[in-house]
């Protein structure tokens, strides 16, 4: 975990609000709420909502008011995990140290829980009250969210991932795949915070550059961990990528070179932060954590 009391406090706030969201379950539609809640509350680093809250806080605005918006990305991320884990996709039995959603609720309910989390993410963005976010800017946020997660973003990345399994893959292809599959949503999370804090264009650009490096770094480290860690530490099955013959950064670049590349991406992310008009110590800490995390 991130060893910083303030960051941990925000992560705890996310967890608390996720629990509260499902406090009044709709019993007329069992087991939908239970299936949605199961994977949402199964743990996780909460990196996506954290990024949004941190950006808001770094610009002197109230991160509490950002929470409903920040949760949207966690809902969206969780839907993607549930669908990616399905037997016809990555066929994973373990996630966040627990049996995957379809193992507990069955495939049909898992798909539907994902679908409902997907819609609910939009409800959070469209419906959450916010004192200073204009309706026009909220529309812009929704458009950016769609671009990040749909056929130009996350879903496209997953389709590329499935199609390229077992194929020869270049570094450029691998980067495009991950820029879509995980990078686009992380980029959105940072920009969401920037929109909520109403930052200047120059700061928005620098934060976007930071987010893009962070996203790629996140995936390079993910690949390295999959190769080097054991399943208990990861909370999911390790060595899956090699077993499924997936292209990874260590495989395409070599392990040492992948470590070097991760270091370079860290430096580039830190350089981007220096272009922002104020010091951003929490964002610096987060990208260092992403480089050196062990799960």
Map tokens 């200073």 to a residue.
132
Is there binding between residue 106 and a second copy (CB under 8 A)?
A: yes
The CB-of-180 to a second copy minimum distance in angstroms stands at 8
- Count residues near a second copy (CB under 8 A): 51
Is there binding between residue 245 and a second copy (CB under 8 A)?
A: no
H/E run at residue 94? strand 94-95
Query: Which among 152, 221, 208, 212 has a CA at the least distance from the CA of 180?
Result: 152
Contacting a second copy (CB under 8 A), which of 163, 170, 245, 278?
Answer: 163
Task: Tell me the three state secondary structure of residue 131.
Answer: coil
Residues 12-41 that bind a second copy (CB under 8 A): 26, 28-33, 36
Task: Tell me the three state secondary structure of residue 88.
Answer: coil
Contacts of 30 (CB under 8 A, 6+ apart): none
Is there binding between residue 94 and a second copy (CB under 8 A)?
A: no
Is there binding between residue 135 and a second copy (CB under 8 A)?
A: yes
* CA angle (85, 210, 157) in 5-degree steps: 30
Contacts of 150 (CB under 8 A, 6+ apart): 156
Is there binding between residue 115 and a second copy (CB under 8 A)?
A: yes
- Site string (169-208) toward a second copy, x via CB under 8 A: -------x---x----------------------------
Q: How many whole angstroms from its chain centre is CA 133?
A: 23
Q: Of the listed pieces 138-146, 219-227, 228-236, 282-290, which binds a second copy according to CB under 8 A?
A: 138-146
Q: How many CB atoms lie within 10 A of CB 203?
A: 19
Is there binding between residue 104 and a second copy (CB under 8 A)?
A: no
The CB-of-252 to a second copy minimum distance in angstroms stands at 18
H/E run at residue 257? helix 255-274
The CB-of-68 to a second copy minimum distance in angstroms stands at 13
* CA angle (59, 65, 67) in 5-degree steps: 100
Q: Where on the chain is the footprint of a second copy (CB under 8 A)?
A: 26, 28-33, 36, 83, 86, 88-89, 106-109, 111-112, 114-116, 118-120, 122-123, 126-127, 134-136, 138-139, 142-143, 145-147, 149-152, 155-156, 158-160, 162-163, 176, 180
């Amino acid at each position: 975990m991130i060893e910083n009391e303030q960051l941990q406090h925000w992560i705890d706030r996310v967890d608390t609000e996720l629990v509260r969201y499902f406090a009044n379950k709709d019993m007329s539609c069992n087991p939908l709420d239970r299936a949605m809640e199961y994977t949402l509350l199964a743990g996780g680093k909460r990196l996506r909502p954290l990024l949004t809250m941190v950006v808001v806080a770094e610009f002197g605005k109230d991160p509490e008011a950002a929470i409903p918006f920040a949760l949207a990305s966690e809902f969206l991320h969780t839907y993607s995990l549930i669908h990616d884990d399905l037997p016809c996709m990555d066929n994973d039995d373990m996630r966040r140290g627990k049996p995957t959603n379809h193992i507990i609720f069955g495939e049909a309910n898992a798909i539907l829980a994902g679908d409902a989390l997907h819609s609910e993410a939009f409800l959070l963005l469209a419906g959450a009250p916010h004192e200073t976010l204009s309706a026009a800017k909220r529309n812009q946020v929704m458009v950016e969210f769609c671009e990040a997660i749909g056929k130009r973003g996350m879903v496209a990345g997953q389709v590329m991932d499935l199609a390229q399994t077992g194929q020869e893959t270049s570094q450029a292809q691998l980067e495009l795949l991950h820029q879509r599959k995980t990078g686009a949503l992380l980029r959105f999370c940072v920009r969401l915070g920037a929109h909520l804090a109403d930052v200047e264009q120059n700061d928005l650009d620098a934060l976007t550059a930071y987010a893009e490096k962070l996203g790629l770094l996140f995936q390079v480290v993910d690949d390295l961990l999959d190769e080097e860690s054991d399943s208990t530490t990861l909370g999911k099955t390790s060595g899956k990528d090699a077993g499924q013959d997936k292209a990874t950064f260590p495989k395409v670049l070599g392990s040492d070179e992948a470590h070097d590349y991760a270091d370079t991406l860290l430096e580039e992310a830190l350089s981007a932060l220096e272009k922002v008009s104020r010091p951003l110590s929490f964002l610096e800490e987060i990208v260092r954590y992403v480089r050196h995390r062990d799960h």
